[in-house]
Amino acid sequence: MSGIREASVVLLVALVTLSGCTSGGPPMDNDSGSQTPSATAVSQSPSGMAVSTNPLSQVLEAVPQGYSSPAQQQGTLVELSYDTYESMTYEQETQELTKRAIVYLPYGYNADEQYNVFYLMHGGWGNETTTLGTPGDPSAFTNVLDNAISAGEIQPLIVVAPTYNNTSPEDSGSFGLALTLNQNYHHELLNDLVPAVEGTYSTYAESVSPEDLVASRDHRGFGGFSMGAVATWRTFQYALDYFRYFLPMSCGTSLDMDNIVAAAQTRDQADYFVWVITGTEDFAHQYDENRVELMRNSPYFTEADSEQDGNFAYRVRDGYSHDGVAAMEYTYNGLRWFWGA
């Protein structure tokens, strides 16, 4: 990746951009001893995927200090344009839009190999450049990805940074509008973005037909911080057939969890995993506490410390608030566990 990324600049970018929301934003009141992941697997899910017995850490791992500096082996950021439709009238297809996603390709990307792919949504006041940056100005998180992959903590993977912004780059700054756009986002995600990404880059999908995208769901995840966590829960609700792993981080809104959780009945309980993460000082903490309690009382979720024993986990980082440091660390931990090397 081009450009010199000094550590001080990188840290500043991490603090203000990765989350897409800050603790100073409006509250969303609408509607430890860690282990490096291993590849050990002893059983299969109903879809045939090998299920790892590697436990989730009880205490989240901090991003190593050196990871804020450029790695010797750096991946590549590319811009991917694709066509879609205006969100509110998507099904009528009356207004075409051309949108952009930022795609991270790992060092040594080879079109003859298959890669897991993680879709990472920004928060409020953000856009598709918030989490990864741009090819000419990569964000701090690209350094984290590069270093974690180089260190063998995360398998080489593709990370996609899209946006739920619709007709204006300012859409994510409106709380009510952002909620509506995320409610609608699955149309664009499944019909336009995923086919554009996985028809261009090498993933486990044999083609971009719905059948092949569903068949490759074990190698696809979705996550996001703050309003990006809202997008994650909507993806679970509407696109569970296409995604196995979900990382909703600090979702500071109550949502209609009964409807979202009910979507789980469409899949076997061993065919998905949700990792909910937040911080004790985050305004989203109580929202996530309430949400997790609903999950614990649901017949579709079993809380566990490994994928073999259940399908959701909950971790709270002591002292962490609603900011870019938390967003980066939570994402780092999620990827280390979902696809540890």
pLDDT band of residue 341 (cuts 50, 70, 90) is confident
d(CA 191, CA 197): 11
Question: What's the CA gap between 14 and 5, in Å, rounded?
Answer: 12
Asked whether the predicted pLDDT for residue 309 surpasses 60, the reply is: yes
Model pLDDT, residue 46: 60
Q: Which residues contact 53 (CB under 8 A, 6 or more apart)?
A: 40, 41, 42, 306, 307, 308
Cα–Cα distance measured from residue 218 to residue 117, given in angstroms and rounded to the nearest whole number:
10
> Mean pLDDT across the chain, nearest whole number?
88
Average pLDDT over residues 84-98: 98
Given 3.40.50.1820, 3.40.50.300, 3.40.718.10, 3.20.20.70, which CATH number is that of 37-338?
3.40.50.1820
SS3 content of the chain, % helix, strand, coil (to 5): 35, 20, 45
Please report, rounded to a whole number, the percentage of residues in the chain having pLDDT higher than 90: 83
pLDDT at 191 over 50: yes
The pLDDT of 266-295, averaged and rounded, is 97
Q: What is the DSSP letter of 193?
A: I
pTM: 0.88
Q: Which amino acid does the sequence have at 95?
A: Q
Q: Which of 206, 135, 193, 205 is nearest to 164 (CA)?
A: 193
Q: What percent of the chain has pLDDT over 70?
A: 84
> How many helices and strands (H and E) does the chain possess?
9, 12
Q: What is the mean pLDDT of residues 79-104?
A: 98
| pLDDT at position 13 | 35
Q: Given this model, what pLDDT does residue 48 score?
A: 60
pLDDT tens-digit series, residues 17-54: 344 443 333 333 333 333 333 333 334 556 666 666 78
pLDDT above 80 for 245: yes
Structural domain boundaries in the chain:
37-338
Residue 185 contacts residue 234 (beta carbons within 8 Å): yes
Q: Quick one: average pLDDT of 76-103?
A: 98
Q: Which amino acid is at 217?
A: R
Identify the helix (H) or strand (E) that includes residue 157. Answer: strand 157-161
Average pLDDT, stretch 68-81? Answer: 96
Q: What is the mean pLDDT of residues 195-206?
A: 98
Evaluate if residue 280 carries a pLDDT over 50: yes
